[in-house]
Copies of this chain bind each other. A is one copy, B any other.
Amino acid sequence: MEDKQKETAEFEQTENAETYVEADQTAGSEPSDNEGETAETTEEQQRISELETNLADTENRLLRVQADFENFKRRTREDNAAQLKYKSQSLLTQLLPALDNFERALDVKVEDAQAASVLQGVEMVYRQLLEAMKSEGLEVIDSEGSAFDPNLHQAVMQVQDEKYESNVVVETLQKGYRLKDRVIRPAMVKVNQ
């Protein structure tokens, strides 16, 4: 709410700056017209005309710098917000292959008790890792059973399966991930024709 008011204020200031420029250009050219007409220009009048032009120029420059400054501040605020929002992207992207391998390692079938106990221990670690990544905004992209979406899915295989509707994702070959609203890795999928 407050931000919106600021934005409006900035916009008005820029508008004013432009209006000012035009007005001052007219003002600046006036003295020379008078000069021709009256031919009575004293030293003082010349000084006044000089000062008026100079003042108008300086005021214009001030308004321009102020407008530039406000624009720069607004852009900086926007850039910072984006940088903050996606700050974990680089580390998350690097962790994804390890996460894939973790899932593969947990997928083995074991028979003996000791192996099962080891698996159980590292499965807890896997869940803890995933939770930490999710708390920074990581989300798994839904794929199996969803309609194929080229923004979220990368089709690496096509099948013909009457059990599914056309253009539906039949199987996920590699999970896809989003960081908040940004896809950082599309899901690799098998799609029904």
Q: How far is the CA of A73 from the CA of B69 in the complex (A)?
A: 9
Q: How far is the CA of A146 from the CA of B6 in the complex (A)?
A: 54
A159: interface (CB < 8 Å): no
Q: Give how many A residues have a beta carbon under 8 Å from the other chain's beta carbons.
A: 55
Q: How far is the CA of A117 from the CA of B109 in the complex (A)?
A: 12
Q: How far is the CA of A76 from the CA of B79 in the complex (A)?
A: 11
In the complex, which of the residues B59, B79, B124, B132 contacts A58, with contact meaning CB atoms closer than 8 Å? B59
User: In the bound complex, do residue B58 and residue A69 qualify as a contact, i.e. CB atoms below 8 Å apart?
Assistant: no
**Cβ of A85 to closest chain B Cβ, rounded Å:** 11
A17: interface (CB < 8 Å): no
Residues of A whose CB lies within 8 Å of any CB of B are 42, 44-45, 47-48, 51-52, 54-55, 58-59, 61-62, 65-66, 68-69, 72-73, 76, 79-80, 83-84, 87-88, 90-92, 94-95, 97-98, 101-102, 105, 108, 110-112, 114-115, 117-119, 121-122, 124-125, 128-129, 132-133, 135-136
